[in-house]
Structure 1
Amino acid sequence: MPADPTLDRLANATLLVPFESHRAPRWVLDGLADGIAGVCLFHNNISGAEQVTALNRELAAAADAPLISLDEEGGDVTRIGQSAGSDYPGNAALGAIDDTALTRAVHRALGAELRSLGFTLDLAPAVDVNTVDDNPTIGTRSFGSAAGLVARHAAAAVAGLQDNGVAACAKHFPGHGATHQDSHTELPVVDADPDLLARRELVPFRSAIAAGARSVLTAHISLPAFGTPEPATLAPSIVTGLLRGELGFDGVVISDALEMEGVSNGIGVPEAAVRALIAGCDLLCVGRFVYGDEVAAVRTAIVRAVRDGRLSGERLEEAAARTLALRRWTREHQVHTVPDGPAPGLPAADAIGLDGARRAVRVDGVVPPLHDPVVVEFDAPPGIAVGEVPWGLSPWFPGTERVDPASADIAALLERAADRDLVVVVRDAHRHVATRRLIEDVCRARPDTVVVEMGLPAWRPACQAHVSTYGAARVNGQSAAELLGAARATPVR
Structure 2
Amino acid sequence: MSDEAQLRADAGQMLIVGFDGPHTRAPEPVAQALEDGEVGGVILFRRNVESIEQLVSLTTDLHAQVEGDLPPWVAVDQEGGRVVRVREPLTPIPPMRALGQAADQRAVARVSEVLATEISVLGFNLNFAPVLDVDTNPDNPVIGDRAFSSDPERVARAAAGVMVGHHTAGVVPCGKHFPGHGDTLQDSHHTLPRLMHDEKRLRGVELFPFMRAVGAGIPMIMTAHIELPVIDAFAPATFSPRILQGILREEMGFEGVIITDCLEMKAVSERYTIEEMVDLGLDAGLDIFLICHTEAKWRAAFERIVEKAQEDPEIRQKVAASAERVRKLKRELLGHWPRPYQAPADLMEILGCEEHRQITAPFFEDGAVAGVDPTEPGA
Aligned to 1:471: none
Aligned to 2:31: 29
Q: Indicate the percent of aligned positions where both proteins have the same amino acid.
A: 35
Equivalent residues of 2:249, 2:255 under 8 A apart: yes
Which protein shows a greater Rg? 1
Aligned to 2:359: 352
Letter of the 1:354 partner, please give it. Answer: A
Alignment of 1:101 onto 2:92: no
Q: CA-to-partner distance for each residue in 1:63-111, whole Å, 9 max, x for gaps?
A: 1411110111011100011x68971001012123343222111101111
Q: Distance in 2 between matches of 1:211 and 1:50?
A: 36
Q: CA-to-partner distance for each residue in 1:295-338, whole Å, 9 max, x for gaps?
A: 21111122222234396110010111111122223432449975
| 217-226 vs 54-63, greater mean Cα deviation | 54-63
- For the residue of structure 1 that corresponds to 2:246, the secondary structure is helix
Aligned to 1:290: 294
The correspondence for 2:142, drawn from 125, 137, 141, is: 137
The correspondence for 1:70, drawn from 53, 68, 76, is: 76
- For the residue of structure 2 that corresponds to 1:129, the secondary structure is coil
Equivalent residues of 1:159, 1:212 under 8 A apart: no
Q: Distance in 2 between matches of 1:280 and 1:347?
A: 45
The correspondence for 1:339, drawn from 339, 347, 351, is: 347
Q: CA-to-partner distance for each residue in 1:413-444, whole Å, 9 max, x for gaps?
A: xxxxxxxxxxxxxxxxxxxxxxxxxxxxxxxx
Q: Distance in 2 between matches of 1:188 and 1:251?
A: 26
Q: Distance in 2 between matches of 1:87 and 1:381?
A: 12
Map 1:94-173 onto structure 2 (within 5 A): 94-173=99-178
Change (3 A) 1:387 1:195: same
Letter of the 1:192 partner, please give it. Answer: H
The correspondence for 2:278, drawn from 267, 273, 279, is: 273
Give TM-score scaled by structure 1 length: 0.69
Equivalent residues of 1:78, 1:86 under 8 A apart: no
Q: Distance in 2 between matches of 1:153 and 1:75?
A: 15
Following TM superposition, by how much is the alpha carbon of 1:347 offset from its aligned partner in structure 2, in angstroms?
6.3
Following TM superposition, by how much is the alpha carbon of 1:152 offset from its aligned partner in structure 2, in angstroms?
0.2
Q: Distance in 2 between matches of 1:215 and 1:360?
A: 33
Gaps of 5+ in 2: none
Q: Distance in 2 between matches of 1:95 and 1:155?
A: 11
Alignment of 1:239 onto 2:244: yes
Change (3 A) 1:137 1:159: same
Change (3 A) 1:86 1:284: farther
Equivalent residues of 1:251, 1:322 under 8 A apart: yes
Equivalent residues of 1:98, 1:149 under 8 A apart: no
Q: CA-to-partner distance for each residue in 1:117-171, whole Å, 9 max, x for gaps?
A: 1110001111100111000111110001011111100111111111110000000
Alignment of 1:55 onto 2:58: yes
Aligned to 1:426: none
Change (3 A) 1:230 1:45: same
Provide the aligned length of Structure 1 versus Structure 2.
363
Letter of the 2:124 partner, please give it. Answer: F
Equivalent residues of 1:76, 1:386 under 8 A apart: no
Q: Distance in 2 between matches of 1:139 and 1:219?
A: 16
Following TM superposition, by how much is the alpha carbon of 1:8 offset from its aligned partner in structure 2, in angstroms?
2.4
Q: Distance in 2 between matches of 1:387 and 1:76?
A: 13
Gaps of 5+ in 1: 362-379, 389-493
Q: Distance in 2 between matches of 1:40 and 1:30?
A: 16
- For the residue of structure 2 that corresponds to 1:69, the secondary structure is strand
Aligned to 1:262: 267
Change (3 A) 1:198 1:333: farther
Equivalent residues of 1:32, 1:38 under 8 A apart: yes
Q: CA-to-partner distance for each residue in 1:340-379, whole Å, 9 max, x for gaps?
A: 4459xx9633222222214899xxxxxxxxxxxxxxxxxx
Following TM superposition, by how much is the alpha carbon of 1:274 offset from its aligned partner in structure 2, in angstroms?
2.8
Q: Distance in 1 between matches of 2:367 and 2:198?
A: 34
Give TM-score scaled by structure 2 length: 0.89
